[in-house]
Amino acid sequence: MMTNVVLLRPAECRDPEVQSARLIRSFAKERRAQGDVFWLKENAELLGVLASTGAALDAEALEPLAAFHAGCRDLLRNFPQYYRFILSICLDLEAIGLPKQHGAALCGRVARADLEGAELSDLQRAEARRLLRRRGVGPQVGDGALGQRLRDFVSRSVTFAMPNRKAAYELTHIIFYLSDYGRQIPELPDGTLKSLHFTGLLAFLDQDMDLLAEVCAALRFSGNYPSPLWEDAIAAYHRALRVQAEPDAPMHDDYHEFLVTGWAMKIADRSSLAQTMPQGALRFHASRSGQGALRPLAACLNDMGAQRRADWGYMRPHVLSYLGPDSHAILLAAERSGPHFEQFFEGFARVRA
pLDDT in tens, 20-39: 999 999 999 999 998 799 99
Q: Are 62 and 92 in contact (CB under 8 A)?
A: no
Least confident stretch, 8-22, 113-127, 316-330: 8-22
Higher pLDDT, 287 or 352: 287
Quick check: 5 pLDDT over 70? no
Residue type, 349: A
Q: Are 235 and 270 in contact (CB under 8 A)?
A: yes
Rounded CA separation 297/222 (Å):
30
Rounded to the nearest angstrom, the gap between the alpha carbon of residue 174 and the centroid of all alpha carbons in its chain is 11
pLDDT in tens, 230-255: 999 999 999 999 999 988 777 889 99
Quick check: 8 pLDDT over 60? no
Rounded CA separation 50/266 (Å):
10
Rounded CA separation 100/14 (Å):
30
Q: What percent of the chain has pLDDT over 70?
A: 94
Rounded CA separation 234/253 (Å):
18
Residue type, 327: S
Q: How confident is residue 274, by pLDDT bands cut at 50, 70 and 90?
A: low
pLDDT in tens, 107-121: 999 999 999 999 999
Which residues, other chains included, contact 275 with Cβ-Cβ below 8 Å and sequence gap of 6+? 241, 242, 243
pTM: 0.93
Ramachandran sector of residue 350 (left: φ over 0; alpha: ψ -120 to 50; beta: rest): left
- Mean pLDDT (whole number) for 303-331: 95
What pLDDT, on the 0 to 100 scale, is given for residue 275? Answer: 65
DSSP element (H, E) containing 285? strand 282-285
Quick check: 273 pLDDT over 70? no
Q: How far are the Cα atoms of 65, 135, 269 from residue 76, in angstroms, in the given order?
A: 16, 17, 36
DSSP letters, 134-157, are: TTT-S--TT-HHHHHHHHHHHH-G
Q: How confident is residue 208, by pLDDT bands cut at 50, 70 and 90?
A: very high
DSSP element (H, E) containing 282? strand 282-285
Rounded CA separation 311/316 (Å):
8
Q: Are 20 and 8 in contact (CB under 8 A)?
A: no
Quick check: 312 pLDDT over 80? yes
Higher pLDDT, 156 or 290: 156
The conformation of residue 7, written as its DSSP 8-state character, comes to: P
Q: How many CA atoms lie within 13 A of 96 on its CB side?
A: 29
What pLDDT, on the 0 to 100 scale, is given for residue 300? Answer: 96
Least confident stretch, 87-91, 149-153, 220-224, 286-290: 286-290
Q: What percent of the chain has pLDDT over 90?
A: 85
Q: How confident is residue 279, by pLDDT bands cut at 50, 70 and 90?
A: confident
pLDDT in tens, 168-180: 999 999 999 999 9
Rounded CA separation 238/259 (Å):
9
Rounded CA separation 90/14 (Å):
28
What pLDDT, on the 0 to 100 scale, is given for residue 221? Answer: 98
Quick check: 51 pLDDT over 70? yes
What pLDDT, on the 0 to 100 scale, is given for residue 16? Answer: 81
- Mean pLDDT (whole number) for 263-287: 85
Reference 223, options 184, 190, 261; nearest CA is 184
Q: Are 284 and 252 in contact (CB under 8 A)?
A: no
What pLDDT, on the 0 to 100 scale, is given for residue 291? Answer: 82
Which residues, other chains included, contact 60 with Cβ-Cβ below 8 Å and sequence gap of 6+? 21
Torsion of CA 53, 54, 59, 61, to 10 degrees: -30
